[in-house]
Amino acid sequence: MPAPTKRDLISIEDLSTEEILELFARADTYREDLHGFSQVCNGLILAALFFEPSTRTRLSFESAMLRLGGGVITVPEGSSSSGAKGEALSDTVRVVGGGYSDIIVIRHPQDGAARVAGRYAEVPVINGGDGAHEHPTQTLCDLYTLWRERGRLEGLDVVLCGDLRYSRTIHSFAYALGRFRANIITVPYPGFEMPKYVLERLRRNFGVQATNASLGDLQDITDPEGGSAAAYLTASKPHQQALFPALTDRHLDRIDAIYMTRAQRERHSGESLKGYPVLSGKSLQAKMFENTRVMHPLPRLDEIDHELDKDPRAVYFRQAELGVPIRMALMAFLLGKIDLKAEPPLPRARDLYVSGHGGFICRNERCITNGDGKRHLSHEFFDLSDDAPLLSCAYCGKVARPEVVGDRKSMHFGPADSTWGRGLGPVVGEFFASENEARAAGFQPRNPD
Amino acid sequence: MPAPTKRDLISIEDLSTEEILELFARADTYREDLHGFSQVCNGLILAALFFEPSTRTRLSFESAMLRLGGGVITVPEGSSSSGAKGEALSDTVRVVGGGYSDIIVIRHPQDGAARVAGRYAEVPVINGGDGAHEHPTQTLCDLYTLWRERGRLEGLDVVLCGDLRYSRTIHSFAYALGRFRANIITVPYPGFEMPKYVLERLRRNFGVQATNASLGDLQDITDPEGGSAAAYLTASKPHQQALFPALTDRHLDRIDAIYMTRAQRERHSGESLKGYPVLSGKSLQAKMFENTRVMHPLPRLDEIDHELDKDPRAVYFRQAELGVPIRMALMAFLLGKIDLKAEPPLPRARDLYVSGHGGFICRNERCITNGDGKRHLSHEFFDLSDDAPLLSCAYCGKVARPEVVGDRKSMHFGPADSTWGRGLGPVVGEFFASENEARAAGFQPRNPD
Amino acid sequence: MPAPTKRDLISIEDLSTEEILELFARADTYREDLHGFSQVCNGLILAALFFEPSTRTRLSFESAMLRLGGGVITVPEGSSSSGAKGEALSDTVRVVGGGYSDIIVIRHPQDGAARVAGRYAEVPVINGGDGAHEHPTQTLCDLYTLWRERGRLEGLDVVLCGDLRYSRTIHSFAYALGRFRANIITVPYPGFEMPKYVLERLRRNFGVQATNASLGDLQDITDPEGGSAAAYLTASKPHQQALFPALTDRHLDRIDAIYMTRAQRERHSGESLKGYPVLSGKSLQAKMFENTRVMHPLPRLDEIDHELDKDPRAVYFRQAELGVPIRMALMAFLLGKIDLKAEPPLPRARDLYVSGHGGFICRNERCITNGDGKRHLSHEFFDLSDDAPLLSCAYCGKVARPEVVGDRKSMHFGPADSTWGRGLGPVVGEFFASENEARAAGFQPRNPD
């Protein structure tokens, strides 16, 4: 039965660092005796709602629930769901979470869909991947693998290689590495560098400093020109400056892990993948890779040579295997079947801005507030304002800066970053992308010319 | 294990009124402790054969079986079934009901498919919706909800609103309301009135009287012009005349429930849905709606405003939730795991007419005897003759009047409603739609001109 | 838990004759009390990987696992699998067989796919049908049915009727009949005779002798012209000559069973099926069919009249029913939950030839080494050489004769059937289909002109 106050896992940030480490320990227990815990969730039901295909993730969750002694109901593809009849996701999860099941895992093509599910379902909801937003159990599994292989996370030097632009998995893993104070070396396929918004979030939330780097030996693992795009991201306390300007200054003599990703082909239509990096025994001959662990979220295409599978440094199949016990631990926890000593994460002390009629809307076209929930979800944002107003969509997390703010009482508007504007705050204030939008919503300029 | 004589639920009429009420009581027990009955069906298997998509119904059944401790095998869509290789449904259910499973729920696009499944499977069969024919567990769930909300069914005043023409759910619910002596007020979307054959069956089977009505306050719940099509259907003893000509004469001062339906878009291609009624807090402000329960079979499109979800009168999510315990009760009963004190319905004392070569065939194009079973099912009809011969398809229930009847011994034919014709009966008689058909089957006129 | 050395069932030859008979006895036990063994596989998980649709086979396996008390995870169609993202089957099964599940059943469109799965998965793998290659559990079920109906297999006279050319089921059943020393009478739909390679394998492996036959009474079961293509295949000790030249000489006075198959429509595009044999009560009136059992793997199209279903000689629904207990026995065995006294089959004493760069490749276009595994599987063959070199693909079993062989040390090539060539053997030798291929791989003629 869910705990009195239900917990969801929509983002990896929904778990505290200490909770994550406790879940690792619990997963170890399950892993050592995979068939020994089939009474833990007896009589409980997991609903696996997969509105886009993801066999591996689905099977991993279903297996984990069965190993805990529970049952599973499944929507294996979106095509056969009521969604095809036009039902809103919020309705679907209210029904499925109302008596049908005791916990829900959801996979959905729209960013922020899992947050909607968590809000409307009465039972715990796990995000199994929502659009380009988050995939926290993959991240849990990746961290767990690295932790098991290395015994710790802090201070590790981890290479992220391949398509760093479109891979949701890479982004989530990067945030988690930053949080655990591991260092990141990015080795992107040229043209597919880590996006700016990811680097900004790494800096803002975890104080991670980015520096371009000439990578020397790392060239082995990519094409001759590829190394030039590499960068070094140092985990440090927020606002502490990076102590070295280039990677080589740090006498990097060993790489703890390389996390390789496939090209997200479905988003590369038309673009050639010629020269995409390929890991093989040959590309890992340098001394610094002697003890490196090669990780991959799978499925793998050609970016890791099959011949490497037998190399003891290849841990990607072990990584997949660990997905079951870590998901067992997660579900047993969310269902109230195990207790953790650790405290949950502190509630965010951020103000919430609920957009009124004509007010600011999320700029992410793939956000569920602009998709499935367009007709009934309000646009809500966390106020992250620093030097200037900064809004983060409460569903998809997309960050944007409104230019204009209005006073809901006086119906006047002015620049959002003015002293007057910043004084309004997200309760009285109504934000807009432009003056035109403010006027269209019936607001008048505060100081008309 | 099924009882020695297996019971199916193809139509809501397969359960006696007393059995239904006992199932409600049992469902209440299950509902109060949803996790407490996971030993009831241990080791038993439900086969969920969904030859057309219906996620909600399927998940509800699967959840109910898992909550009872049983297992589930599923055909989630018709596309992957042997049906795609051309196998007859009767073969499929003989196989699936022969050792593979202990009970079957079937969803099928053709009218009467569930009756075929019930005839050929050795295990109990539940109709999960067959074409436009029946969907009895939805009706059970609807009745159960109304019964719980109101404490009784008899004498309730229930509004049926929206698309009353194509909604199988509405038709089945109307029959059930008639049987339990509730009154029905129809508020159709203009052009989508309750079909004549439904009204006739209500009159014939339950003595329900229909009157046009001017609805006054009910206009609030629909568009300005919509109210004119409303009608009032009074449950009464058969052949007892309605006592009031118009709704307003009855001083209808409260509506017990409004049952709203979505437009069956898949059958409205090309027709505009402009002006389709939309329920909202605003449309339910009249005094008569003060304590009304708003029901909906879901999925909901736009016909109920999302803002109404928080209104205590909105019970549609509760209604969906009750689908699990009522299906638990039903399956436990059909599997012989609980006994009911009530008697089953009396067997129908109707003669069966089995059509011979060239004889009468069902006029319903979507009937399974004209579809999947065209090559091997015989056309069979219950003889409902009143003033004139009347045949009801034993599979889809479609009623038709044959014009001609032949004598299988003398090979003569004559008018079906003649004294001679009516004297033949459905064993000696062979029915035809026309004289030409009778001649084509080798019959000669009895009194040639 | 799998036994220390895991066993797969890829081909029916992976079980010894004695093991098969013991499994029949165990299946009988399960069949008599289908609900009495729900503790056998508690906590164990079957992964049903169906990369092409086959509802019946899938449901049969899932039901068997549930009846044993285990759980099931399913990929119901290839479309939703990671395969759609381009993942190699070998990766998929390594993941699914690594912690996700305890046993795998796989259905795949490519010949030899099940052998790949068996090689790469850590858990036991059952072939649920791989392309045109094998479908051993169907064969087990067919044999079990015949054994139960007749009390023995040796010496039975079994008619195989219909499409004998494309039916994988027929071919596997024929091999099994040969192995158990039953006699086969082939009654093909003209143009769809049993292929030569099947007849050759029957002769080579089981000493089965083929004779054309004039079939007399058997004409009843087919079209007037059809009988002319019939043949009689006699089980005998290898290299023992058939003792009678024609069927009628053997005074065949009773047929033990007729195994009917549907036309494999998906492979007959464009070809008419007019005159395809149809079994009915009428076609089985002759004295020799008095006690014949009619079998069919289902789904049935029109090749067996529905009216025959009630005939006590029709056993095809019983045959389907037996699929569950025999699969229960098989899985309980492979999972180490029951022990068999019988010895496993002797390991094949055949040399393995692993093709090097440019060497011999499997000639079967549909073989997985030319499909899913093209980029990472090596071409491997068992050396069946008799009078001349003969290679059997280690995955799909396709047999081919290479014309040329090279010496991997000297890099010379010569005719494969020369004394020199045959002396090289499959370790030193590199085989080629032609001299051109040998040259392309860098080999030189041994005795240049």
3-state SS track over chain A: CCCCCCCCECCHHHCCHHHHHHHHHHHHHHHHCCCCCCCCCCCCEEEEEECCCCHHHHHHHHHHHHHCCCEEEEECCHHHCHHHHCCCHHHHHHHHHHHHCCEEEEEECCECHHHHHHHHCCCCEEEEEECCCCCHHHHHHHHHHHHHHHCCCCCCEEEEEECCCCCHHHHHHHHHHHHCCCEEEEEECCCCCCCHHHHHHHHHHHCCEEEECCCHHHHHHCCCCHHHHCEEEECCCCCCCCCCCCHHHHCCCCCCEEEECCCCHHHCCCCCCCCCCCECCHHHCCHHHCCCEEECCCCCCCCECHHHHHCCCECHHHHHHHHHHHHHHHHHHHCCCCCCCCCCCCCCCCCEEECCCCCCCCCCCCEHHHCCCCCCCCCEEEECCCCCCCEEECCCCCEECCCEEEECCCCEEEECCCHHHHHHHHHHEEEECCHHHHHHCCCEECCCC
Mean pLDDT for the stretch of residues C413-420:
94
Look at residue B190 in the predicted model and tell me its pLDDT. 82
Q: Where are the beta strands (DSSP E) in B98-224?
A: 103-108, 125-130, 157-162, 183-188, 209-212
Where does the pLDDT of residue C248 fall: very low under 50, low under 70, confident under 90, or very high at 90 and above? very low
From C102's Cα to the closest Cα of chain A, the distance in A is 10
The whole-angstrom separation of Cα A112 and Cα A170 is 18
The whole-angstrom separation of Cα B247 and Cα B218 is 11
Instruction: Determine the residue of chain B that is closest to A80 in CA distance.
Output: B53
Testing the interface with A: which of B33, B54, B55 to mutate, by most A Cβ within 10 A?
Answer: B55
B429, B408 contact by CB (below 8 A): yes
Contact A317 C98 (CB under 8 A): yes
The string over B390-405, giving b where at least 16 C-beta atoms fall within 10 Å of a residue's C-beta and e elsewhere, is bbbbbbbbbbbbbbbb
Contact C95 A56 (CB under 8 A): yes
Query: In C, which residues are within 8 Å of A53 by CB distance?
Result: 79-81, 84
For B299, the closest of A80, A86, A375 (CB atoms) is A86
From B71's Cα to the closest Cα of chain A, the distance in A is 9
The whole-angstrom separation of Cα B426 and Cα C15 is 58
Alpha-carbon Rg for chain B, nearest whole angstrom, is 23
User: For chains A and C, what is the number of CB pairs under 8 angstroms?
Assistant: 84
Query: In C, which residues are within 8 Å of A265 by CB distance?
Result: 85-86
Instruction: Determine the residue of chain C that is closest to B46 in CA distance.
Output: C63
Question: What's the angle, vertex CA B175, arms to CA B172 and CA B176, rounded to 5?
Answer: 85
Give the Å distances, CA to CA, from A203 to A198, A357, C420.
Answer: 9, 34, 72
Annotated catalytic residue C56: yes
Contact B299 A96 (CB under 8 A): no
Give the Å distances, CA to CA, from C421 to C356, C413, C414, C415.
Answer: 17, 8, 6, 6
Look at residue B254 in the predicted model and tell me its pLDDT. 86
B89-93, B264-268, C73-77, C99-103: least confident range: B264-268
Query: In B, which residues are within 8 Å of A74 by CB distance?
Result: 74, 76
Query: In C, which residues are within 8 Å of B71 by CB distance?
Result: 66
Contact C56 B80 (CB under 8 A): no
User: Which residue of the set A85, A251, A310, A341 is catalytic?
Assistant: A85
The whole-angstrom separation of Cα C5 and Cα B446 is 82
C388, C417 contact by CB (below 8 A): yes
User: For chains B and C, what is the number of CB pairs under 8 angstroms?
Assistant: 82
Longest CA–CA span in chain A (Å) reads: 75
**What is the DSSP code string of C303-366?**
SB-GGGGGSTTB-HHHHHHHHHHHHHHHHHHHTTSS--SSPPPPPP---EEE--TT------TT
Query: Which active-site residues of B does the annotation give?
Result: 56-57, 85, 107, 135
Q: Which residues of B touch C (CB under 8 A)?
A: 1, 42-45, 47, 71, 73-76, 79-82, 84-88, 90-92, 94-96, 98-101, 375-376
Query: In A, which residues are within 8 Å of C80 by CB distance?
Result: 50, 53, 55, 76-77
Q: Which residues of C touch B (CB under 8 A)?
A: 31, 34-35, 38, 50, 53, 55-56, 59-60, 62-63, 66-67, 69, 72, 76-77, 262, 265, 298-302, 306, 317-318, 320-325
Is residue C220 left, alpha or beta, with left meaning phi > 0 and alpha meaning psi from -120 to 50?
alpha
Where does the pLDDT of residue B204 fall: very low under 50, low under 70, confident under 90, or very high at 90 and above? confident
Instruction: Determine the residue of chain C that is closest to A310 in CA distance.
Output: C120
Query: In A, which residues are within 8 Å of C375 by CB distance?
Result: 302, 306
The whole-angstrom separation of Cα A11 and Cα A425 is 26
Residue B252 or residue C19, greater confidence: C19
Is pLDDT of C282 > 50? yes
Contact B321 A76 (CB under 8 A): no
Instruction: Determine the residue of chain B that is closest to C316 in CA distance.
Output: B95
For B38, the closest of A43, A81, A91 (CB atoms) is A43
Residue C91 or residue B86, greater confidence: C91
From B403's Cα to the closest Cα of chain C, the distance in A is 31
A145-159, B36-50, B330-344, B346-360: least confident range: B346-360
Look at residue C212 in the predicted model and tell me its pLDDT. 59
- What SS3 state is found at C169? helix
Contact B299 A85 (CB under 8 A): yes
Cis peptide upstream of residue C389 (ω within 30 degrees of 0): no
Mean pLDDT for the stretch of residues C286-315:
93
Site of tokens 């001394």: A287
Neighbours of A449 (CB within 10 A): 3
Strand partners, A353: A381
Dig out the tokens for A184 from the structure: 């990141």
The whole-angstrom separation of Cα A158 and Cα A156 is 6
Query: In C, which residues are within 8 Å of A77 by CB distance?
Result: 79-80
Is pLDDT of B16 > 50? yes
Q: Identify the CA nearest to A293 among candidates A143, A139, A136.
A: A143
Instruction: Determine the residue of chain C that is closest to B75 in CA distance.
Output: C55
pLDDT in tens, C391-402: 999 999 999 999
Query: In C, which residues are within 8 Å of B104 by CB distance?
Result: none
Mean pLDDT for the stretch of residues C363-379:
95
Give me the amino acid identity at C399: V
Testing the interface with C: which of A46, A63, A74 to mutate, by most C Cβ within 10 A?
Answer: A63
The whole-angstrom separation of Cα C240 and Cα B334 is 59
Look at residue C239 in the predicted model and tell me its pLDDT. 42
Is pLDDT of B77 > 70? no
Look at residue B248 in the predicted model and tell me its pLDDT. 44
DSSP state of B177: H
Contact A76 C81 (CB under 8 A): no
For A80, the closest of B76, B265, B324 (CB atoms) is B76
From B37's Cα to the closest Cα of chain A, the distance in A is 9
Is pLDDT of B383 > 60? yes
The whole-angstrom separation of Cα A85 and Cα A78 is 11
Mean pLDDT for the stretch of residues B42-66:
95
Give the Å distances, CA to CA, from A306 to A292, A354, C90, C236, C375.
Answer: 17, 51, 10, 47, 9
Annotated catalytic residue A250: no
Question: In chain C, pLDDT over 70 holds for what percent of residues?
Answer: 86
Query: In A, which residues are within 8 Å of C373 by CB distance?
Result: none
For A63, the closest of C45, C75, C375 (CB atoms) is C45
Mean pLDDT for the stretch of residues B374-398:
91
Q: What's the pTM?
A: 0.93
Instruction: Determine the residue of chain A that is closest to B299 in CA distance.
Output: A87
Burial of C411 (0-12, 13-18, 19+ CB in 10 A): middle
pLDDT in tens, B209-260: 766 654 555 656 655 444 445 667 776 554 444 444 444 445 577 899 999 9
| Average pLDDT value for chain B | 88
Look at residue B267 in the predicted model and tell me its pLDDT. 60
The whole-angstrom separation of Cα C200 and Cα B442 is 56
Sheet holding A71-75, edge to edge: A71-75, A45-50, A103-108, A125-130
pLDDT digits (tens), chain A, 449 positions: 444 589 999 999 999 999 999 999 999 999 999 999 999 999 999 999 999 888 899 999 999 999 999 999 998 765 444 444 578 999 999 999 999 999 999 999 999 999 999 999 999 999 999 998 899 999 999 999 999 999 999 999 999 998 999 888 999 999 999 999 999 988 888 888 899 889 988 988 888 876 655 455 565 665 544 444 566 777 655 444 444 344 444 557 789 999 999 887 666 555 667 778 889 888 888 888 999 999 999 999 889 999 999 999 999 999 999 999 999 999 999 999 999 999 999 887 788 999 998 999 999 999 999 999 998 999 999 998 887 889 999 999 999 999 999 999 999 999 999 999 999 988 999 999 999 999 999 999 997 65
Hey, which chains touch A, using 3+ CB pairs under 8 Å? B, C
For A376, the closest of B50, B76, B306 (CB atoms) is B306
Contact A53 C80 (CB under 8 A): yes
Query: In B, which residues are within 8 Å of A91 by CB distance?
Result: 298-300
Q: How far is CA B197 from the centre of its chain?
A: 13
From B35's Cα to the closest Cα of chain A, the distance in A is 6
The whole-angstrom separation of Cα B391 and Cα A401 is 71
Where does the pLDDT of residue B53 fall: very low under 50, low under 70, confident under 90, or very high at 90 and above? confident
Question: What's the angle, vertex CA B285, arms to CA B279 and CA B288, rounded to 5?
Answer: 100
The whole-angstrom separation of Cα B38 and Cα B47 is 18
